[in-house]
Structure 1
Amino acid sequence: MIKRIFLFIFFLSQISFLYASITILNGLTHTYKVENGTIYKGKIEIENTGKKTQNVKLFLQDFSYQSDGTISYTTPHTNNRTNVDWITLNTNQLTLKAKEKKEVYYEITIPNNILEPGSYWSVIMVEPVEDIKPNDNKEGVNITSIVRYAIQIITDYDAEKAKPNLIFENIKIDKVEGKQTANIAVANKGNLYCKPSVTIEIYNHKTAEKIGVFSSQSMGLLPQTSKTFQINIDKIVPDKYNAIILSTDENENAFALNVELDLKND
């Protein structure tokens, strides 16, 4: 066993870690209300926070996510509401010197023949490119840690005729970082992007007295996707309760559900 530990430590000593250091300065979600036949312009602000020159490539992908934590980046046209064909980048690659900032510009050309109102989207991937060069002075393996960024480009067409349709998929009470937490999975079955938050109102099971109101952070929710909203309810003592769970988006569309909660000591 000692020999195996020694060999493992020796192996680690032969590995050098390289980290790409870029960041996006102007947000990871860009939304537009669009009209037929119109051109919209935007930009991505990128900074190299590292100490050496960094090459970066940019490309388009389709994108979706589900409440179980699954995130899918797929080839263009796998999403039937993709807008990849509408987006043109002014460059697909750039080089940033240490501490340098640059802007990449894009245009969104809305076609004249959109059939259905609602949200269309894709992501612009921003990915560091590492030049892997053999090192004659050091033995071992180079491991590169790369952080990719996905910038959502969401275009809402004829939004007045579209709407989100939020439903509660699942409600679980779990311990998250040692605190009792309501994990509420919400799906958007509509055709419009929204940013809902979830509120839970808890009432005494016997007297109907309101015990408290607790809320989640708001999160963006694309059509036909779902996310889990977490609400800290650690202050509630174990017992049986009645509760109203309410999901409300930024346009005050509200969706409610009555449930019974059985909070236990485990």
Structure 2
Amino acid sequence: MFRKKNMLLPRISIGFAIYTAVFFLALLPLQADMLIKGGLTHEKEAAIGQTYEGSLEIQNNGDKPAEVKVYQTDYFFYADGRVIYGEAGKLGRSNAHWITFSPKTAIVPPKETLAVRYTVKVPEDSSLAGTYWSMMMVEEVPETSPESTLAKPDRVGMGIRQVFRYGVQFMTHIGQTGARSIKFISTKLQKAGVAQHLELDVENSGQRMLRAEVYAELYDPKGTFMGKFEAEPLRLYPGTSGRFKIDLSKIPNDTYKALVVVDCGGSDIFGANLNLVIK
């Protein structure tokens, strides 16, 4: 693996492998009448000991009141598709306990917006470095739920309910601190019929959140450049991992050399040389 483009790269030889891709981060949205304004990420660069404030706005576009509850969880995910919404504040890099907010339950009148106001107080701890994060869930409370204050007695009961929620990510970066590094967990070629993909499992092995853009530059046995092939970018928190899929379906069968690059912005560029056998 390299850190900058002018460094030597290791060579890895791989062939086809059958693998099932599972994508991470799947949260159900609220019903169509309920919206979170301003996006699903609240991100701030702050100093140790600093306090900052903000608001999360929940908009009800419907024609009747809607009840919601707001609560926190931790958030962690793996390249194999596992997503963990654990107890708030348990992860080593959780900032959940830094955050206070109000209200935690509310009824949003039709055609109106509720502001959930929050305060983030970064601890006075000189060992803090990099990125700390957690999730704030905004969940609809159905009228048939025992939790509902809008429920009519004859509509509350036992049964299976579909719960809709938004997950809003809250991240705090401690200044510009925190090591930035990645680790290639696995590289595999997957073929299914005429479709073929290069799958790369990448872990953020550093201390700071990275926005990773991954691509591969392919060269045939004569050294002819075959093109640049890109995967969908992903956000990787420290310790988490993601699966990047690069579509190579239009590449003829042959042996290729590939320069795989994980570009995290600025000078944070990582990569490896691969030998690919497409057949």
Q: TM-score, normalised by structure 1?
A: 0.82
Q: Which residue of 2 aligns with 1:236?
A: 251
State the shift of 1:114 in Å.
4.1
Asked if the contact 1:20–1:54 (Cα under 8 Å) also holds between the matched residues in 2, the reply is no
More helix by share: 1
Q: How does 1:158-237 map to 2 (within 5 A)?
A: 158-159=175-176, 161-174=177-190, 179-204=195-220, 206-237=221-252
Q: What is the identity, as a one-letter code, of the residue corresponding to 1:80?
A: G
Q: Please point out which of 127, 146, 156 is paired with 2:173.
A: 156
Quick one: distance in 1 between partners of 2:95 and 2:131? 9
Give yes or no for the alignment of 1:251 onto 2:263.
no
Quick one: distance in 2 between partners of 1:219 and 1:211? 25
Asked if the contact 2:67–2:106 (Cα under 8 Å) also holds between the matched residues in 1, the reply is yes
Asked if the contact 1:20–1:144 (Cα under 8 Å) also holds between the matched residues in 2, the reply is no
Q: Which residue of 2 aligns with 1:124?
A: 136
Q: Please point out which of 3, 19, 38 is paired with 2:50.
A: 38
Distance change (3 Å), C-alpha of 1:155 and 1:144: same
Aligned partner of residue 156 in structure 1, secondary structure: strand
Runs in 1 of length 4+ with deviation above 4 angstroms?
Answer: 133-138, 175-178
Paired-residue identity, %:
29
Q: Which residue of 1 aligns with 2:275?
A: 260
Q: Please point out which of 40, 44, 67 is paired with 1:55.
A: 67
Which stretch has the larger CA shift, 173-182 or 214-223?
173-182
Which structure has more relative contact order (CA 8 Å, sep 6+)? It is 2
State the shift of 1:143 in Å.
5.1
Quick one: distance in 2 between partners of 1:222 and 1:147? 25
Q: Which residue of 1 aligns with 2:23?
A: none
Q: What is the identity, as a one-letter code, of the residue corresponding to 2:86?
A: T
Quick one: distance in 2 between partners of 1:57 and 1:186? 35
Asked if the contact 2:48–2:124 (Cα under 8 Å) also holds between the matched residues in 1, the reply is yes
Q: What is the identity, as a one-letter code, of the residue corresponding to 1:236?
A: I
Q: How does 1:91-170 map to 2 (within 5 A)?
A: 91-132=103-144, 144-159=161-176, 161-170=177-186
Unmatched segments (≥5 aa) in structure 1:
1-18
State the shift of 1:238 in Å.
2.4
Q: TM-score, normalised by structure 2?
A: 0.79
The alignment's C-alpha RMSD in Å is 2.7
Q: What is the identity, as a one-letter code, of the residue corresponding to 1:193?
A: M
Quick one: distance in 1 between partners of 2:271 and 2:126? 33
Quick one: distance in 2 between partners of 1:119 and 1:47? 29
Structure (1 or 2) with the larger CA radius of gyration: 1
Which stretch has the larger CA shift, 124-133 or 193-202?
124-133
Quick one: distance in 2 between partners of 1:30 and 1:178? 41
Deviations 1:205-256 (A, max 9, x none): x212111111123221100000112222222122221111100112330111
Question: What number of residue pairs does the alignment pair up?
Answer: 244
Unmatched segments (≥5 aa) in structure 2:
1-30, 146-150
Q: Which residue of 1 aligns with 2:3?
A: none
Asked if the contact 1:121–1:153 (Cα under 8 Å) also holds between the matched residues in 2, the reply is yes
State the shift of 1:137 in Å.
9.9
